[in-house]
Amino acid sequence: MERRLFKQIVIALIFSLIILSVGELIYLKHKPPPTCFDNKKNQKEEGIDCGGPCVPCELKNNPPLAIDGSPYFILGDSNKIDIVFKVLNKDLVWGAKNFSYNIILTGENNQTQTIGPKTDFVLPMSSKLVVLPQVPTTFTPLKVEVEIIKEGILWEKVPEGINLRAGEPFAISNLRVIYPQKPKEQEFNVYVFTKTLTLNSKDPEVFNLQKVLSQDPEIYPEGKITGVYDKATAAAVKRFQKKYGIRTTGEVGPQTRAKLNELYGPSELEPFSYNFTKTLKLGSQGIEVTNLQRALMIDSTEHPKGNISGSFDKATEKALKEFQKKYDLEPTGIVDGPTREKLNELFSKPAETTPVLPEDYFESYEASLRVKGDIYNTTPFNFKQAQVAVVLCDKNKKPAVVGITYLDRIYYGKANSFLIQWQKPMPPGLSICEESINVNILDKDNIFVTK
């Protein structure tokens, strides 16, 4: 071999080695780390991608998820149904961080509708209640089935520090069903009408007008509280005028205002007692503002402007300043300590005789039904999101309606209150027959750390 040829071969080999070395470095730099799901036995697996520190082969080949019992549905309005079922995970260690399922509806003529795929999670050794409200359908179903898609399930162990064998990680307490009502001792006539109201008027007095008219379904069957004087409100006013012998104009004029104030306006002669405890100012809302406005209206020598609405507006601020001047208080327009003291001197009875409005009481225009309760987080973690689901049954223990709500930022070692409410008419005597608290503790992205 000629010396020159030998030299070229050596140079070519050196360049080849350099190129291979650079390529190896680039590969090593961008090579993905070994995982339990790369189809290689590189994580001390007992088999490829399963066993050992990885998900057991049995979970992959025969997932222990199943539908627990028989799914059922509740017929709703406008071709919508509520669907309820339970998912059972028999594994004692691994939970399904994410799994998919389909819902199959069958109708009277064997027509079918598939809904999904949808996703959810289920913890180890648990049966999870799944509630899907207001699912649209193309026909009235006779049967509902749920099919779990056993491919692609993401399995995860419970974070260290949570012991499911010790019980449920989230405790629910103070759970109750509440219908709209007012305690008799708190039924005040607290609406004052001062303005002429006509079609298309937009005013807080329209809100109060609709509120008092809705108390009689024969006068205002729609019962909508919008603050806008629409045709339904005008029709309700006509019925009100006809009932009380007033000229039926459909507008709130002097005679109609006089009758409304007679029926719903506050009277200085009626008993009134309230113990003021809060600092109130412009923008405040609630029952304490309502009673402040009532006290100011009863006390003033000159009728204050504005309504008893429960919202601390400019008119309330002006009336409060007049009250403060009358009693030689600093006219701040804020219910501060000295102002509360004077209000309680004038309007508060002894604590044992003063009726208090419980927070559970509400009126029918706010909701037709409420479910309230508290969730206590027993885990050592904070979670970003949670879901509460309930099934309500009638007096015969038959499921009648479902409801869900979502909570943000569930702190450990603390109680978190929740509220589920409905606006549509509800039958009397409903009670909670099933409830669930759903927090995905398997999802590390759902955990957050407080500063």
Q: Report CA torsion sign: 303, 307, 312, 313.
A: negative
* Phi then psi dihedrals of residue 85, to 5 deg: -160, 170
| Shared domain check, 285 and 221 | yes
Rounded CA-CA distance 197/254 in Å is 10
Rounded CA-CA distance 338/324 in Å is 9
| Shared domain check, 294 and 218 | yes
| Shared domain check, 243 and 133 | no
Cα–Cα distances in angstroms (integers) from residue 410 to residues 383, 386, 421, in the given order: 5, 7, 20
Cβ–Cβ under 8 Å, residues 142 and 72 = no
Find the domain containing 315 and state its range.
193-347
Cβ–Cβ under 8 Å, residues 162 and 381 = yes
What is the mean pLDDT of the segment spanning 288-313?
A: 70
Place of tokens 């973690």: 381
| Shared domain check, 273 and 150 | no
Q: Is the pLDDT of residue 102 over 80?
A: yes
| Shared domain check, 390 and 335 | no
pLDDT category, 42, cuts 50, 70, 90? Answer: low
Instruction: Tell me the CATH number at 399.
Output: 2.60.40.10
Q: What is the pTM of this model?
A: 0.57
> Within a 13 Å sphere around the CA of 350, how many CA atoms are in the beta-carbon half?
2
Instruction: Tell me the CATH number at 102.
Output: 2.60.40.1620
- Please name which of 360, 363, 379, 362 lies closest in space to residue 417, comparing C-alpha atoms: 360
The overall average pLDDT reported for the chain is: 82
Q: Tell me the three state secondary structure of residue 321.
A: helix
What pLDDT, in 10s, does the model give residues 389-419? Answer: 999 999 889 999 999 999 988 888 888 889 9
| Shared domain check, 407 and 342 | no
Percent of the chain surpassing pLDDT 90: 32
Instruction: Tell me the CATH number at 197.
Output: 1.10.101.10
Q: Is 403 contained in some domain?
A: yes
Burial of 105 (0-12, 13-18, 19+ CB in 10 A): buried
Number of domains making up the chain: 3
Rounded CA-CA distance 81/214 in Å is 29
| Shared domain check, 210 and 336 | yes
* Residue 379 structure tokens: 């885990």
Radius of gyration for the chain, computed over Cα atoms and rounded to the nearest angstrom: 33
| Shared domain check, 319 and 243 | yes
Rounded CA-CA distance 102/82 in Å is 15
Q: Is the pLDDT of residue 268 over 80?
A: no
| Shared domain check, 241 and 338 | yes
Q: Is 16 contained in some domain?
A: no
Q: Is the pLDDT of residue 37 over 70?
A: no
| Shared domain check, 129 and 273 | no
pLDDT category, 354, cuts 50, 70, 90? Answer: very low
